[in-house]
Structure 1
Amino acid sequence: MASPSQTYTRWTTLQDSELTVENVRESLETIQNDLWVAAACVDRLVDDVEVQRTLLELGLIRTRSAIATAKQALAFPLDQGKPGDSESAGSGVKVEKDSFVSYFRTVPADTQLCHMRAVLLERLDRLNTFVEICKDLSEEEEETEEALDTWEDDPWGEESGESSTSATTSNKKSSVQPPIPISAFLVDDLLQISCVLASREHYAALRVLFERHGSYLWAYRFTLLDNIPEHSHPSEYRDFLPGLDVSTNSELIFISQAWRSEPDWSETFEVRTAIEASEVTLRVDLPSRTSSEHGKSHPDPLTTPQLTGWYKNRVDHIITSTGMVDIALATIQHGASQGIPDLDELGEELSLLSRLVYDAPQAEGRDVDDDWTLVRWKAMDPAAVIRAYLAHSSPGTIARDIQKLVMPYLFVLESRAERSGQPDSALPNRLLYDFILSASLQIAAAIFEASKPTLPAAQRLIRSDEDIARLALACLYGSQRLDEWVTMSRIFECLPAWDISRDDDEADEADTTIASLGAFVTPSTSRPRCTASDLLVFFKPLPVSSLSRALDILDLHLEGGEILGRWGVPAPLRWFLQSSGDAVEQRAWANRMARRAGGSKDHLDTREDWEWLMKDMLKLSGTGENGLKGAFGLIPRKEVMGIFFGGLLSNGKFEIAKDLLGLSESKLSLDSTAVEDICLSVSKEFYDNASSGNFKFGDMKLAYECLDVPPPSDRLVKEKEFIEATSRLSSFNVMSRPGIPISPIEIRLTKDRISLVSRVLSSNVDAYKHTQVVLDLVYKLGFRNDIVAEVKTLAMLANTALHAEDFDRAYETSQRMVDTVLNLRLSAPLGLEDPNVQEASEVCWMACWQLGRQPEFDDVDKKLLLLGRALELCPPDRLHEVLTGWCRLEKEDLDNRKERLATSRGVVGLAKAPRRPVIESTPNTASSLASRLQDFRMHMPASPLANAEDAAALAGRTFNRVTASFPFSIGHRSSSDTDSSSNGESRQRPQSGDVSAQANRVFAKGIGWLLGADDE
């Protein structure tokens, strides 16, 4: 047999994991020292139930003798043992409190054993609780494998996996992993253990713990509830939720069932107080039951208002922290089932909110909106709630969603109004109608289809036929959609059809309403757009007969809308109201339809397509069977055909246009004048929009070809020649501004088109050489048979040639111009009084004078002839000016001849020879003219132009007068900086001085249109 020292040594060397029931008994039962054995049992904590139970029971046995001795010595007054028992020897003897303290101080070993007994008893109770917890868990495991998976995934299972043993029941080990190790469960704070179990949702364990130790945990019940996760369903922990005791009208008290009905002597208040007062050093502390730092104590039952407040606070916390409205609703429902008052309204709100969160359709690809809170919900007005319910409803689900979500909500609102003493039976319809008016046409169509008059009344969302008609009219005329004609037709098919024989007054009333509605929907500064809700105001007063008439009008408008949409020019339905009395607006839309046709058909390429378009346009201009006019009802039929024909041409379909005009069965019946007018108008549009003047491509080509559609006429030929002239001008690279070619529209808008010819001559060096080409250009610009324009053109050509110092060509052109003017003078009906004759003569004599007085032109005979023509054509008041120049040229010519003769014959006196022989050497025309002019000069009175100075002054006045009325300009020619004077001397041009005077001098020489003095 081992000695006591060996036994002690053996026990201390055993590890906790090596302990078994057998070696515990073998090691401790042989030791006689009760205090040492009890201390050894208290000191050891293992995770094996049987070993731990053996230690606890063995420790309790070794404490019995100390308890018996203490009772006998103190004669414990509260002893409830049976008379005669050794443990109750001192019964009935009263001992003062100080006796307890004195005894425990005197016998510290018994004090230690009494304290250890209380510790062992508490641990044994907890061990029994732990075993029961494991038993319940084992039963749950057997019921479902899902519970087993939950425990395996639980963090407590991982922690308890560190232990090599598990709880057992009925001497059999369980496979269930306990939520907390035995060693921790026996000594840790009981409230903390409960809070941990609550937070981990181990409700079965918590239920056992609360049942067996409820006397300690009851005061901290709300601390436990606060540790239960908000997402946990209340049905899982309903045993811990507070209820109402109807008999006391306060919180229902939880009844616990402790393991021992009465406390042990060592656990009594007197003993525990005496042990603490004895100041004996204890080897181990009692297991902690509750700690104030883990929660606030509520030992008293809550009142009814407090219970209501707790449930409301719990719900707010659940929604705020998790957003799980269903959990909050279940919590409120549980409270209401327990009789807690004032939770019905909150439950109603949560029920409606839960429908929004869980039952209402959600956006695809999105989770449930986690921002929904009671605060947000209560802040929403009813209309916003309905919109939220149906925000993601589709046309296929809208009817069901209204029945399932909106109708219950509207019923609640109506009930609340009644409970508040303010009943409003129209509230549900009003809110539903407001939603319909603001919904899309697709959604509205689905609602109307679920409200057809053919359906049973109980199944219809809208049960009033009149309301359906009013809502449909407001929705359709209030919509701005241009691509929903099929949907609009679906809505119309859902409307009631009343068989009403209306009188004229009722028809007029409906028509008046529609007319006033047209003015109402027209945008204004105060109301840019009226909504469907605004439009409903107009339809509410209408009786059934007027509503039926309004639906007839709607039918016509829908048909017109479908036609306009078919051809790519859709108009909102309200346009038909606005334009019903506006012919200008109808005409504008008809033009748009004809010109933009094919927007929805890519392009109209066949005659059949265009005939279809014409048929639709004529249909819109007609009157229906019910006497209602179409969308173009204010436009005459002929005008509609003209608009169609113009649209056909504007799309460049010239061959189709010819076919339609040539077919006898075609509905396009337009007279030749109308066809010609339309072709000219469309051609001008093409012309004005052309970016290039070349009529071989682009819009200019279309403008040219458009004129070939009708038979030729003078107007068509003239327009075609103008297009050809435009193309010719573009080929000459005429510029509008430096670097920017002139555009066709600029050419058309040019008031004086002769000036375009001057641009050609100034921008093209050799253009003057092609006289006939330039003249053809003038003719095609619209001046065919215009002699004045021809004379002006010849004058410009002559002057341009003069600038280029091509004097021969200038002379030839001048001769042609003179011949043209002379023929005009002879053929003019009014003779010389004709304005055209006067204008042509004015241009001609100025051009002749300009060329005839050029010093660089050395052919004196031609110059004299030109000046003679100038004298012949100029007005009487200009004869002095021209004659002075002619005389000066004649004198210079004679002086030059004399010098040449004197040089060749060596005769000095020959310089004073008579003039006649010299004149005779000139051509006959010049000689006869010279003699006539000599006669005229000899008999002419003195003139202020008798000398050069007077001539120069008069020339200046003439310059100012002529340039002010000059209708065109000619480009300048390049020249040297010196001019030749009549006497052959060279004179330098001024470098400074009056700029205006210098410009006048340059213009007089360069342009050459003025009469006057010589170059001085």
Structure 2
Amino acid sequence: MPASQNPYTRWTNIPDAELTADDVEQVLKPLTDDVWVVAACFDRLVDDVPLQRELLDLGLQRSEGALGRSREAALFNSQPSTAEDTLPVSSADALAAHFRGVPADARLCWMRSVLLDRLDRLNTYEEILKTAPLGGRDASEEADDWEDDPWADEGGSSAAGQPSASATPQFPISPSEFLSDDLWQSAISLTTLQWLEASRTLLQRHSAKLWKYRFSILHCIPAHLHPTEYRDWLPEIDPTTDGERLPVENNWRACQDWSESPEAQLALTECPHVSFPELSFSQDGDHEPHTHPEPLSSDELSSWYKRRVDHIISSTGMIDVALAIVQHGASRGVPALDELGEELSLLSRLVYDAPQNAQSDDDWTLARWRTMDSSTVIRSYLKNSTPESIAEDISRLVLPYLFVIEARAERAGNPDPSLPTRILYDYILSAPLSLVASIFEASKPTLPVSQRLIRNDEDVARLALACLYGCGSLDEWPTMSRIFECMPAWDIAQDEDNDGDTADTTIALLSAFVTPTTSRAQCTPADLLVFFKPLPIASLSRALDILDIHLESGEILSRWSVPAPLRWFLQSHNDASQQRAWATRMARRAGGTSDKLDTLDDWEWLLEDMLKLTNEGESGLRGSFGLLPRNEVIGIFLGGLLSSGKLDIAQSLLKVLRTKLSLESQTIEDICLTCSREFYDNASSGNYKFGDMKLAYDCLDLPPPSPRIIQEKEFIEATSRLASFNITSRPGIPISPIEIRLTKDRLSLVAQVLSSNADAYKHTEVILELVRKLGFRDDTVAEVRTLAMLADSALQGEDFTRAYDANKRMIDIVHNFIESAPLGKEDVQVKQALEVCWVACYQLGRQPEFDDVEKKLSLLGYALELCPRDKLHDILISWRRLETEDIEARQERLEMRRNDPTTVSAKRKPAATVSSYPAASLRARLQHFHMPTPPLLSTPDAAALATRTFRSVAANFPFSVGSRGRSQASHLDDAASSRSGSRRPEGDDVSAQASRVLSKGIGWLIGDE
């Protein structure tokens, strides 16, 4: 027969994809070689299910003969022996012997067992396709989810609205792969692809082979799937064994084929001359997963559930899925899941039920939850709560959590009934005031006890006191009032009211406690709660009365822009200085920052509130200014009004203050002076026609005139006059009013005026009036010093006439001053005036440029009269020199008159003689002093003595008013000496130098009194 007609060759040449049922019927069935036919059916794996079934049925049919022969051989040869010395032959040994003798039957039995397994798989495959025609759970759901696919074409769906054929997903495993791959591979693949119904069918029909892979298959279920979709797979506890329940087998065949029996499989493996191909066609790299062939104990199952929960949370964060799997495990009798279920239940409330923030990115895990303490958990529950939702959030989130915490403590053998309230109170003490107010409103004593968050009235009072006094808020007074309105009201008997002293003592102690220290900047509400815990009801009631007063005071202070935290009222409870400082702040800041205080009524309202803070309420408690006298508060108010600059309103209010409030005139005067000086010190310009200086001046018009008021007004006028002279404190910087006030010697300011303005000395009365307004009115010494400065300025300007007039006026004042002084020249002020006067006279009297000898001699004579005794030598030297010059001049004029009477008479008037000075006074002074005869003055010793005297005088001059060069004075002195025809003693040169030093000025006399 040609090769093309050979049926064996024809069968092998047909590709699997082209194989049909006709080929099986016409080519394979006619063949008589059972081994070859069964092998052909064994080798063929096609994706056509009916064709594959036909091949399997044919292979099983043609292997029945070998099966029968093998069974008969095993049964026949396994009969017990009749000989006593032989043992019976087992069926496995007999079958192995048969297989060794008939290898074809061995191969047929082996292939039959494989074909039977494939037939079972094929039945399973057909059942999977029937139960999930669209590809399982996700296929249908994905079809629903993608009905609105934005990428789909507008005509992508059929006209009838049914899904298109392309939308139906194909089964992920072909029949050939399903029959050839390991069952665990198919189960894991289907589970991973979420064909859960197919996996469930596979597990039910092949439980004997897949049960040991159950946990590996469960691990492949996507973590985000809810356990209700695979709850039948979850392991459970068998109460009878206290271990894992074994699965119920649901195989396709009720009885196992003889070829699949353990005896047959053992016999097949013992055939040395028959080799069998590998039964598994697993792909390279696929490793067999971990197996658990034995059922797990209850503890092991509990550990598996916990690991599954950790895997779900860590990979997806879906707390509800983790909680559901724990609930399923608990329902299946798995122990030790209660606490885990509690944690997941509480965590799920935090994740799903607690208010959330759209911007929140918290990543909640079970590990993070286990590291959180109770306080952190409650804060997390209520992190995004609002005042409107806080009460409900505590009821549905916090209270169940606290119940669990208490139950756990009881289970641990450490019962603590106060634990829930303590944890809740800790949160209230640290919560924002707006949330606390809502909590207290949900705890009002008027509500039923079952509906209240805080059910103990005393705890409500203690918590409120701690929260309010520990709060540093300055703008939540309405919220604080809401909290106070929720406080309980107790009927306290008279005999119990003595406990109010305990509250007062506690408040006094708290006053010291809330004061910041270096170790604690600010006390917390939790710290304050320690003080209120021991208080009984009567003391708490008293403390609430005090809180009421403090809240009212706080609202008043806040109204006038000077809010104080409630703890300040504790600090200032017994501190009048703090109350005074805050009252001053209230009066001044209210006037300086509030736009409402523009009318008289507004200021009267402020005064009314300030006085209200000093009043005593119905409970016998005073306000925040209770330690201050009423008149003091009125004075503080008036000072604030004046400092605001609204003097017209102040003028109107002063009438009320004098009449209705009985404010003394002296007090008003003191306040006006204080405010005036504040305006003065803050003024940037000394001109009292505008700005703060004008306010300082106008303030003094409010009280009646008095010496102090007049003196202050004159000082302001003097300041304005000084500012007009443009004097400076530093180069280029005009002197400020505050610098003028702080100047120790204000006459130095007059000296600056004279030195910086060349013609200022010409206005004697203006300068003297300036000195009087600077505070030196009726001060003779200051007047003398001022005239000395005027004379010195005129001397520098070579205006000898005004210089002489100033000196003459100064001499008259000094003479009158000496006569009026009770101690005469021994008076301290008289001595100061004398010192200034004789130096000024001596200064001008010895000036060479001053050519009026008569006046110079007169000035030197006054200097001799007024100077101290140790200065007579110095002045007499100048006197003798001037007298010598006068005599020489008169001799020259006399000689000229003799030679030319007309010329001499026309030149000039005769010089004054020494007799023009009151000689009797000078003579008496010299005789009293026992002065040697004048010739002695020309000796070198006398000259040296005079030099030393002038040096000592000059050394005490702190400054010079002006400096005139040596050349002119020396030239005149030398000329006078040449004219006299005599040689000047050596000491005269030194004396002349001292005279030139003295000529520099007398300003030092006004620098230090």
TM over 0.5: yes
User: Does the 8 Å contact 1:56/1:120 carry over to 2?
Assistant: no
User: Does the 8 Å contact 1:757/1:774 carry over to 2?
Assistant: yes
Task: Give the 3-state SS of the residue equivalent to 2:973 in structure 1.
Answer: coil
**Residue 415 in 1 paired to residue 407 in 2?**
yes
Amino acid at match of 1:800: S
Q: Matched residues in 1 for 2:148 and 2:34: separation?
A: 45
Q: What's the counterpart of residue 469 of structure 2? A: 477
**Residue 100 in 1 paired to residue 99 in 2?**
yes
Q: What's the counterpart of residue 464 of structure 1? A: 456
Task: Give the 3-state SS of the residue equivalent to 1:293 in structure 2.
Answer: coil
Amino acid at match of 1:941: P
**Worse overlay, 893-902 or 843-852:** 893-902
Amino acid at match of 1:1006: K
Q: What's the counterpart of residue 148 of structure 1? A: 143
**Which residue among 921, 932, 941 is the counterpart of 1:941?**
932
Q: What's the counterpart of residue 921 of structure 1? A: 910
**Worse overlay, 5-14 or 197-206:** 5-14
CA-CA distance at 1:566 after TM superposition: 0.9
CA-CA distance at 1:563 after TM superposition: 0.7
Q: Matched residues in 2 for 1:112 and 1:809: separation?
A: 155
Q: What's the counterpart of residue 735 of structure 1? A: 728
Q: What's the counterpart of residue 84 of structure 1? A: none
**Worse overlay, 378-387 or 896-905:** 896-905
Q: What's the counterpart of residue 121 of structure 2? A: 126
**Which residue among 353, 356, 363 is the counterpart of 1:370?**
363
Counterparts of 1:517-916 in structure 2, within 5 Å, are 517-597=510-590, 601-663=594-656, 667-825=660-818, 832=825, 834-895=827-888
Q: What's the counterpart of residue 334 of structure 1? A: 328
CA-CA distance at 1:935 after TM superposition: 10
Q: Matched residues in 1 for 2:236 and 2:802: separation?
A: 125
User: Does the 8 Å contact 2:960/2:1003 carry over to 1?
Assistant: no
Cα deviations by residue, 1:237-293 (Å, 9 ceiling, x for unpaired): 222221101111110112232333455566566469748966878788544599993
User: Does the 8 Å contact 1:16/1:44 carry over to 2?
Assistant: yes
**Which residue among 215, 220, 224 is the counterpart of 1:222?**
215
Cα deviations by residue, 1:540-580 (Å, 9 ceiling, x for unpaired): 33332232222222211111111111111112222222222
User: Does the 8 Å contact 2:37/2:62 carry over to 1?
Assistant: no
- Structure 1 residues 118 and 974, CA, compared in 2 at 3 Å: closer, same or farther? farther
Question: How many percent of aligned residue pairs carry the same amino acid?
Answer: 56
Task: Give the 3-state SS of the residue equivalent to 1:649 in structure 2.
Answer: helix
Q: Matched residues in 2 for 1:153 and 1:178: separation?
A: 24
- Structure 1 residues 601 and 194, CA, compared in 2 at 3 Å: closer, same or farther? farther
Q: What's the counterpart of residue 242 of structure 1? A: 235
User: Does the 8 Å contact 1:825/1:837 carry over to 2?
Assistant: yes
- Structure 1 residues 24 and 810, CA, compared in 2 at 3 Å: closer, same or farther? farther
User: Does the 8 Å contact 1:199/1:228 carry over to 2?
Assistant: yes
Counterparts of 1:945-956 in structure 2, within 5 Å, are 946-947=938-939, 950-951=942-943, 953-954=945-946, 956=948
**Residue 426 in 1 paired to residue 418 in 2?**
yes
Q: Matched residues in 1 for 2:605 and 2:624: separation?
A: 17
CA-CA distance at 1:450 after TM superposition: 0.8
Task: Give the 3-state SS of the residue equivalent to 1:983 in structure 2.
Answer: helix
Cα-Cα RMSD: 4.4
Amino acid at match of 1:97: A
Task: Give the 3-state SS of the residue equivalent to 1:480 in structure 2.
Answer: coil
Cα deviations by residue, 1:972-1008 (Å, 9 ceiling, x for unpaired): 5585888635524799xxxxxxxxx999998644234
Amino acid at match of 1:77: A
Amino acid at match of 1:983: D
Q: Matched residues in 1 for 2:167 and 2:383: separation?
A: 54
Q: Matched residues in 1 for 2:330 and 2:926: separation?
A: 137
Task: Give the 3-state SS of the residue equivalent to 1:736 in structure 2.
Answer: strand
- Structure 1 residues 797 and 431, CA, compared in 2 at 3 Å: closer, same or farther? same
CA-CA distance at 1:877 after TM superposition: 4.3
User: Does the 8 Å contact 2:591/2:640 carry over to 1?
Assistant: no
- Structure 1 residues 180 and 576, CA, compared in 2 at 3 Å: closer, same or farther? same
CA-CA distance at 1:315 after TM superposition: 2.5
**Residue 1007 in 1 paired to residue 1001 in 2?**
yes
CA-CA distance at 1:372 after TM superposition: 3.6
**Worse overlay, 524-533 or 25-34:** 25-34
Cα deviations by residue, 1:868-909 (Å, 9 ceiling, x for unpaired): 3322333444333222212112223444665687799899xx
Cα deviations by residue, 1:941-968 (Å, 9 ceiling, x for unpaired): 248855476355445445546765x7x7
TM-score (norm 1): 0.83
Amino acid at match of 1:315: V
CA-CA distance at 1:658 after TM superposition: 0.6
**Worse overlay, 670-679 or 132-141:** 132-141
Q: What's the counterpart of residue 992 of structure 1? A: none
Task: Give the 3-state SS of the residue equivalent to 1:839 in structure 2.
Answer: helix
Counterparts of 1:49-128 in structure 2, within 5 Å, are 51-58=48-55, 60-61=57-58, 64-65=61-62, 68=65, 72=69, 77=74, 95=94, 97=96, 100=99, 103-104=102-103, 120-128=115-123
CA-CA distance at 1:483 after TM superposition: 1.4
Q: What's the counterpart of residue 403 of structure 1? A: 395
User: Does the 8 Å contact 2:17/2:46 carry over to 1?
Assistant: yes
CA-CA distance at 1:31 after TM superposition: 8.3
Amino acid at match of 2:463: L
CA-CA distance at 1:191 after TM superposition: 2.0
- Structure 1 residues 679 and 5, CA, compared in 2 at 3 Å: closer, same or farther? farther
Task: Give the 3-state SS of the residue equivalent to 1:596 in structure 2.
Answer: helix
CA-CA distance at 1:452 after TM superposition: 0.9
Q: Matched residues in 2 for 1:431 and 1:590: separation?
A: 41
Amino acid at match of 1:728: R
Amino acid at match of 1:470: R
Task: Give the 3-state SS of the residue equivalent to 2:74 in structure 1.
Answer: coil
Give unpaired runs (5+ residues) of structure 2.
77-89, 150-164, 901-906, 978-990
**Residue 306 in 1 paired to residue 300 in 2?**
yes
Give unpaired runs (5+ residues) of structure 1.
80-90, 155-171, 908-917, 988-996, 1012-1016
**Worse overlay, 730-739 or 252-261:** 730-739
User: Does the 8 Å contact 2:357/2:384 carry over to 1?
Assistant: yes
Task: Give the 3-state SS of the residue equivalent to 1:792 in structure 2.
Answer: helix
**Residue 983 in 1 paired to residue 973 in 2?**
yes
User: Does the 8 Å contact 1:778/1:790 carry over to 2?
Assistant: yes
Q: Matched residues in 2 for 1:998 and 1:525: separation?
A: 71
Cα deviations by residue, 1:915-962 (Å, 9 ceiling, x for unpaired): xxx999224787455798699879942488554763554454455467
Counterparts of 1:206-217 in structure 2, within 5 Å, are 206-217=199-210
- Structure 1 residues 256 and 317, CA, compared in 2 at 3 Å: closer, same or farther? same
- Structure 1 residues 192 and 34, CA, compared in 2 at 3 Å: closer, same or farther? same
- Structure 1 residues 817 and 955, CA, compared in 2 at 3 Å: closer, same or farther? farther
Q: Matched residues in 2 for 1:928 and 1:661: separation?
A: 63
TM-score (norm 2): 0.83
**Residue 436 in 1 paired to residue 435 in 2?**
no
Amino acid at match of 2:837: C
- Structure 1 residues 513 and 184, CA, compared in 2 at 3 Å: closer, same or farther? same
- Structure 1 residues 933 and 676, CA, compared in 2 at 3 Å: closer, same or farther? closer
**Worse overlay, 350-359 or 287-296:** 287-296
Q: Matched residues in 1 for 2:177 and 2:969: separation?
A: 129
